[in-house]
Structure 1
């Protein structure tokens, strides 16, 4: 072979090899690990469907979804934070954000918040969780909102002559409970008690107290976060009013030995007229495929949601929680992780999809005007609560 042809041959081979290596690098897929908790009846399937659109828009990125059970979520998240070995994007419960932020393991998201339009895109109370007290940065962005409306039985109230529209104040509510207690209604062979709430060994006790405490003008901590307000007159009056429902026979004392799931099933089975719960309960009441025997209960056929009653002070301040999304500082793919977070929190259609599968309120306020929420009387209650809610000290 002539010398010039040999040189040309080697040149072509080298170019081909370099091109092949370049293509392999360009086609290398980024895998993002996303940790979430069970936010819907089928969390693995639902979350994978939620991120599928992101993967289609970004063919070089694969999202690996891990559902972390609530029972060990705190241990897994704190371990990930302290070992610097965790997911790229993580669901961050609002009441945990401050503690995880303090560990210094979350990426600052101030630039992303600015990019998507600023804090006004989300409920103000949710944004308080996003930048905990003492933090210089936004460390999570709101994903979904958890409020706790009052579920009630339309058929029970009708049977004993109570107009639900007239249950506005604490004392209106108390009179309704007394009327049900005295009437001892029986519907479809089931004796109905006025209300129920759990106590011992329950994970929602503080959430259950919050609207009563806030409504009376009380709080858990002072504005500076330096002093407990649990012994203040306003807080104590609210706690006593709430606990008095047991002494008066409206909530059976045996319920205080139960947790939320156990007392919730009492409402599902048709044994309670009133029950406070997360909006996610509507999925199990409305959709037979998830309801089991609940779908056959008079409660599923006759329930409604209303605002929790207003205190004597006239204040409407409700508990608000939910979750944000955060990016771990130690991710090797911060650019892609931020892109995924933006997709989940700032796209109205994605927020709507999340709401449909979970029944939590979307955190993105632009979604609230969608007919799915505007045309549903229960969601109108949830939205009103989100607008006047109060965040925990964080």
Structure 2
């Protein structure tokens, strides 16, 4: 997933402290004669490509101008808080999937459900079920999936074949067996890279083991047997030397290429271009596959959504832009420009994805991908998990005891 980690700030507790005057630069523009201008806030790298796709929208809608304002990810959260407080901001805004509960609770995002009839591109049935879940606040659809990413297994086909595996591991048992065997190739060699700082990894494995993360009332279930068993399985790779405990001082491309110090890893779609660009000598020696399964092979789902600002004065035009960005053909153009995967299911019927040996695994994996729980406390819970897991894989803490501690900490976080 493209990761953007932010300090967690409760919207409702900050709004009263913000000055309601002083509108942000780039706020929604009204009409110029019979022509209207809408402002779109794009975050990070996406903002660089948005003007190009906005030109396509303007050609189809000559009475609407689109002004794209680039907002750095590390400033975006605070700018949105100020926009909500002043009720002056963008017409359309890019939303990180983990922000939806916070700004949905603040009433900052327009419910798009009433607009589906006139804008069928917004219909949830067009998108992967997991991505739709990231747009929901209570019973409202306060965003529309824009692009998605998920995790799959990257592996060196040549090295696995030498180790006796003619195809990618399909089960937990096969994954562990392959990783152990590859780690025995010699000193300084490993079987797989499992990033200990990747906060979704433990939760992803837990779900694959049939564990629930939260109960029906958002009560944590982190010391349930299936969750504990998954953490123990994950820890076994570190304990047995199949994955390194520390940063080796090399990036994943270096570890993946050459002798394959790290011949398998779990990551998102952006790695395809990086491998092709930085390690062209690997052509024909690597591939991607859906994640191995235990009870299932659920992967983590991320990406970005587009939301319409509740206080827009250009509601119709803003919704129309969001609908345009949801067209399969638009999302395919966006993929070619940015390497971002389409959120619309129909896009995956296109030969550029269906016929691509690397991307097709992502299309399959999207059918079994779920976002992390869409609650505003999740970031703090995830960071707490990383601290607990470090005590396990590095400090050799007992898995069950540490998960009991994590459970208690999570209960406190959720009770705030």
Q: Does 1:159 align with 2:162?
A: yes
Maintained 8 Å contact 1:282/1:359: no
How far residue 28 of structure 1 moved from its aligned partner, in angstroms, is: 5.7
Compared CA separation, residues 175 and 92, structure 1 to 2 (3 A):
same
Task: List aligned pairs for 1:301-340, cutoff 5 A.
Answer: 302-311=285-294, 314-340=295-321
- Counterpart of 2:178 in structure 1 is 176
Dislocated runs of 4+, deviation >6 Å: none
Aligned counterpart in structure 1 of residue 36 of structure 2, from 5, 8, 30: 30
Task: List aligned pairs for 1:1-394, cutoff 5 A.
Answer: 27=33, 29-38=35-44, 43-114=46-117, 115-116=119-120, 118-132=123-137, 135-165=138-168, 167-184=169-186, 192-199=189-196, 202=197, 205-225=198-218, 227-255=219-247, 262-263=251-252, 266-267=255-256, 270-286=260-276, 291=277, 294-296=278-280, 298-299=281-282, 302-311=285-294, 314-345=295-326, 347-394=327-374
How far residue 63 of structure 1 moved from its aligned partner, in angstroms, is: 1.8
Compared CA separation, residues 253 and 299, structure 1 to 2 (3 A):
farther
How far residue 55 of structure 1 moved from its aligned partner, in angstroms, is: 1.3
Report the 3-state secondary structure (helix = DSSP H, G, I; strand = E; otherwise coil) of the residue aligned with 2:293: coil
How far residue 78 of structure 1 moved from its aligned partner, in angstroms, is: 3.2
Structure 1 or 2, whichever has the larger Rg, is: 1
How far residue 116 of structure 1 moved from its aligned partner, in angstroms, is: 0.8
Report the 3-state secondary structure (helix = DSSP H, G, I; strand = E; otherwise coil) of the residue aligned with 2:80: helix
Maintained 8 Å contact 1:320/1:391: yes
Compared CA separation, residues 66 and 266, structure 1 to 2 (3 A):
farther
Maintained 8 Å contact 1:194/1:272: yes
- Counterpart of 1:6 in structure 2 is none
Mapped partners of 2:232, 2:72: distance in 1: 34
Mapped partners of 2:65, 2:167: distance in 1: 49
How far residue 320 of structure 1 moved from its aligned partner, in angstroms, is: 1.6
Report the 3-state secondary structure (helix = DSSP H, G, I; strand = E; otherwise coil) of the residue aligned with 2:288: strand
- Counterpart of 2:12 in structure 1 is none
Report the 3-state secondary structure (helix = DSSP H, G, I; strand = E; otherwise coil) of the residue aligned with 1:104: coil
Maintained 8 Å contact 2:255/2:263: no
Unaligned runs of 5+ in 1: 1-24, 186-190
Report the 3-state secondary structure (helix = DSSP H, G, I; strand = E; otherwise coil) of the residue aligned with 1:324: strand
Maintained 8 Å contact 2:184/2:190: no
Compared CA separation, residues 389 and 361, structure 1 to 2 (3 A):
same
How far residue 101 of structure 1 moved from its aligned partner, in angstroms, is: 0.4
Maintained 8 Å contact 2:150/2:365: yes
Maintained 8 Å contact 1:215/1:315: yes
Compared CA separation, residues 337 and 375, structure 1 to 2 (3 A):
same
The structure in which a higher percent of residues are helix is 1
Compared CA separation, residues 299 and 38, structure 1 to 2 (3 A):
farther
Maintained 8 Å contact 1:145/1:363: yes
Aligned length: 341
Maintained 8 Å contact 1:197/1:263: no
CA deviation map 1:214-247 (0-9, x unaligned): 110113211332x101111111111121122111
Compared CA separation, residues 173 and 253, structure 1 to 2 (3 A):
same
Report the 3-state secondary structure (helix = DSSP H, G, I; strand = E; otherwise coil) of the residue aligned with 2:199: helix
Unaligned runs of 5+ in 2: 1-30, 375-416
Mapped partners of 1:271, 1:120: distance in 2: 43
Maintained 8 Å contact 2:48/2:70: no
